[in-house]
């Protein structure tokens, strides 16, 4: 079966990830959590019609992906926005695309499948985190400019409006809750997803 959708998951590095959790977790614990969440995202999205890549230039991330049979995309640019643009520019043959952050702990196969189906039938889908970030964005309409950073959701939607590109906002927690700061981590521990409970119990 031909692949219909491409999904890019940007991961900067494993040397000092999730820095805003430094008061809650040691460096080793943050790296371990980042790896676990990345694997859950990959497992949730996997399917016959999906190509998944980790977007990174970091050697330790590349090695980890190779060991876990995860495809990687190495951009010649730097910075999340330009790396996402470069990734799509060089992978535009698919019917739809998605850029997804790696720290969405509540994503499940059910919500991932629904997201893929909607992407294949919607110009642009986008979610908003509590701090107006953009945890996940995609659709069948390719865009060439990303606006990651502070208030990225507002910047993305302003860009889409300016270009007269229709978009649909999704509100599911599974597609918008990120483990970004101490309060998020406390919420995550209080309401642990099944994949994390399984790891902790093994």
> pLDDT at position 163, please?
95
Q: Give the DSSP letter of residue 174.
A: G
Q: What H or E segment, with its residue span, contains residue 86? A: helix 80-89
SS3 track for 109-122: HHHHHHHHHHHCCC
β-partners of residue 168 are 125
pLDDT tens digits in sequence order for the chain, 202 residues long: 589 999 999 999 999 999 999 999 999 999 999 999 999 999 999 999 999 999 999 999 999 999 999 999 999 898 999 999 999 999 999 999 999 999 999 999 999 999 999 999 999 999 999 999 999 999 999 998 999 999 999 999 999 999 999 999 999 999 999 999 999 999 999 999 999 998 877 6
Give me the sign of the Cα torsion angle 118, 160, 108, 65. Answer: positive
> pLDDT at position 199, please?
86
The parent domain of residue 16 ranges over 5-201
**Whole-structure pTM over 0.85, yes or no?**
yes
Q: In whole angstroms, give the CA distance from residue 119 to residue 4.
A: 10
Task: Say if CB 116 and CB 5 are below 8 A apart.
Answer: yes
Q: What H or E segment, with its residue span, contains residue 169? A: strand 168-170
For residue 138, what is the domain's CATH number?
3.90.550.10
> pLDDT at position 1, please?
55
Task: Say if CB 44 and CB 100 are below 8 A apart.
Answer: no
Q: In whole angstroms, give the CA distance from residue 122 to residue 38.
A: 25
> pLDDT at position 107, please?
98
The encoded tokens of residue 10 equal: 């940007």
> pLDDT at position 153, please?
97
Q: In whole angstroms, give the CA distance from residue 30 to residue 35.
A: 9
Task: Say if CB 72 and CB 83 are below 8 A apart.
Answer: no
Name residue, tokens 């999340």: 80
Using only C-alpha atoms, the chain has a radius of gyration, in whole angstroms, of: 16
The encoded tokens of residue 111 equal: 């919500």
Domain count for the chain: 1
The encoded tokens of residue 117 equal: 């189906």
> pLDDT at position 95, please?
97
Q: In whole angstroms, give the CA distance from residue 51 to residue 6.
A: 5
Residues in the chain: 202
> pLDDT at position 201, please?
73
């Amino acid at each position: 079966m031909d692949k219909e959708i491409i999904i890019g998951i940007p991961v900067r590095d494993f040397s000092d990830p999730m820095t805003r959790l430094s008061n809650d977790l040691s460096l080793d614990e943050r790296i371990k959590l980042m790896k676990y969440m990345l694997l859950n995202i990959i497992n949730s999205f996997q399917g016959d019609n999906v190509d998944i890549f980790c977007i990174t230039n970091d050697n330790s991330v590349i090695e980890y992906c190779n060991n876990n049979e995860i495809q990687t995309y190495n951009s010649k640019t730097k910075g999340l926005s330009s790396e996402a643009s470069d990734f799509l520019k060089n992978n535009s043959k698919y019917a739809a695309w998605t850029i997804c952050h790696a720290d969405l702990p509540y994503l499940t196969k059910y919500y991932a499948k629904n997201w893929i189906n909607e992407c294949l039938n919607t110009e642009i889908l986008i979610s908003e985190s509590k701090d107006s970030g953009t945890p996940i964005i995609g659709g069948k309409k390719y865009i060439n400019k990303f606006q990651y950073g502070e208030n990225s959701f507002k910047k993305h939607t302003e860009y889409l409006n300016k270009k007269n590109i229709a978009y649909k906002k999704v509100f599911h927690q599974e597609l918008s809750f990120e483990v970004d700061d101490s309060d998020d981590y406390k919420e995550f521990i209080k309401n642990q997803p099944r994949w994390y409970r399984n790891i902790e119990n093994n």
